[in-house]
Amino acid sequence: MPLSAKYSSFNLAPLRRNTIGKGSTAVVKTVHAVSDHNKIYAVKEFHKHGGAYDSEHDYNAKLAVEYEIVKKLRHPNIVHTEELCLGPHSRWCHVMEYCAGGDLFALIKSQTEPMAPRERNCLFKQLLRGVAYLHSVGVAHRDIKPENLLLTLDGTLKISDFGVSHVVQEDIPDGEVKLCTAVCGSEPYISPEVFPAEDGSVLYDPRTLDVWSCAITFFCITFGGHPFAKADMSDARYKEYVEKLEKFYNKHPDADFSSSDCEDFPNVRMLTPFSNACRRLILRMLEPDPKKRITAQQALNDSFVHRIELCCMTTDADMDPAAQGVVIDATDKNSQKNFSKAPIRRSHSHFANSKKKS
């Protein structure tokens, strides 16, 4: 279907500049529904040229694969793709929900002071929810970073840009796992096993990459930057991190960061600002050995994450007090007070400390 049959980029007075993002393979613009100008959407228009695609057939094939992935994704923390349309100059377009809050990278850079722990933790938990869902349906993102995480005005975080995503399993949960053989993602967020071995070979489970990238993103939210330029021994900070882990395990061979009783930690400076519970989780996510690294679902089930308060409803179950183990009696003040302690509360705003645009 032609894009113009249902969508138009004209008469957008509040959105004078309808281009909201550019990349090597696509440009993202805002449009409105022809039938209702109040309904705003984002359209990702894919370039045909520029070296990203070898031929017309390659262009069509790669975009078909991406669309096949995104069209089946349904989760509050995933950007919803409405449909595939043919835009100007026979360019394919993904019509998606519009996230008016912009991307997480811009939010991080706009903060006038460090983000409060409850705010950064809220974003982290939403990210883990989205990634755990992706893995549960057999998809790995492979490029988790703040630039690819969008926000709605109510503070809901949504994972976007599935251009390098990978179908890990066709049949869940017992289907064959399809490993990856190419380096993918942005270097500071890439896990160590993704970088080529000495013989130049690459073979990894992309889900372990996503978990590592989530932890690095958490550091970006907290400190405004990533802990390593590259998770490789050629990087001084990463090398120091690995050596301190090895030194710790040599001294504490039975250390178990999955246990709340574990109070001994590697002497890693970047972890000192966090609570013990948070440190235990991050160490499990930033485990250099992918076979020992926890899964996204295990991270989501961690006691530290379970206690994180969210500022928005992210699943239908969140709206059901019984799903949170809370029984409400409208005539009982104590019952209502208990529900106020549930982990879903609109008690903070991720945009409160952002610089005001002139």
pLDDT tens-digit readout, 300-324: 999 999 999 888 765 545 544 443 3
Dihedral pair phi/psi, residue 159, rounded to 5°: -80, 130
Taking alpha carbons only, the member of 49, 57, 54 closest to residue 26 is 49
What does the chain come to in residues?
Answer: 358
Per DSSP bridges, beta strands 166-167 and 81-86 are unpaired
For residue 93, give the DSSP letter: E
CA–CA gap between residue 274 and residue 267 (Å, rounded): 13
CA–CA gap between residue 278 and residue 303 (Å, rounded): 9
The pLDDT confidence band at residue 283, using thresholds 50, 70 and 90, is very high
Contact 96, 44 (CB under 8 A): yes
Q: Which residues have CB under 8 Å from 105's CB, separation 6+?
A: 145, 146, 147, 149, 220
Does pTM surpass 0.85?
yes
C-alpha distances out from residue 357 to 110, 115, 235, 350, 351, Å = 10, 19, 37, 16, 12
CATH of domain 3-97: 3.30.200.20
Average the pLDDT over each of 44-48, 313-317, 325-329 and give the range with the smallest value. Answer: 325-329
CATH topology of domain 104-306: Transferase(Phosphotransferase); domain 1 (1.10.510)
Taking alpha carbons only, the member of 75, 296, 104, 306 closest to residue 217 is 104
Contact 187, 229 (CB under 8 A): yes
Q: Which residues are paired to 275 by β-bridges? A: none
pLDDT digits (tens, 9 = 90+) for 156-165: 999 999 999 9
Cα 201 to its chain centre, rounded Å, is: 27
For residue 94, give the DSSP letter: E
Per DSSP bridges, beta strands 26-33 and 36-46 are antiparallel
CA–CA gap between residue 111 and residue 84 (Å, rounded): 36
pLDDT digits (tens, 9 = 90+) for 7-24: 987 544 444 457 888 877
CA–CA gap between residue 148 and residue 210 (Å, rounded): 13
Q: Is 143 a catalytic residue?
A: yes
Contact 268, 227 (CB under 8 A): no
Q: For the chain, where do the domains classified as CATH 3.30.200.20 start and end?
A: 3-97
The pLDDT confidence band at residue 329, using thresholds 50, 70 and 90, is very low
Among residues 143, 161, 210, 302, the one annotated as catalytic is 143
Taking alpha carbons only, the member of 328, 321, 317 closest to residue 342 is 321
Most confident of 18-27, 112-121, 175-184: 175-184
Cα 72 to its chain centre, rounded Å, is: 17
Residue 355 has pLDDT above 80, yes or no: no
First to last CA, the chain: 39
Count the Cβ atoms, other than its own, within 10 Å of residue 225. Answer: 10
Helix (H, G, I), strand (E, B) or coil at 172: coil
The pLDDT confidence band at residue 254, using thresholds 50, 70 and 90, is confident
Q: For the chain, where do the domains classified as CATH 1.10.510.10 start and end?
A: 104-306
Angle of the 117-136 helix axis to the 206-223 helix axis, nearest 10: 170
pLDDT of residue 84: 92
CA–CA gap between residue 217 and residue 139 (Å, rounded): 19
CA–CA gap between residue 47 and residue 151 (Å, rounded): 25
Q: Which strand (E) or helix (H) includes residue 31?
A: strand 26-33
Torsion of CA 248, 266, 218, 119, to 10 degrees: 150
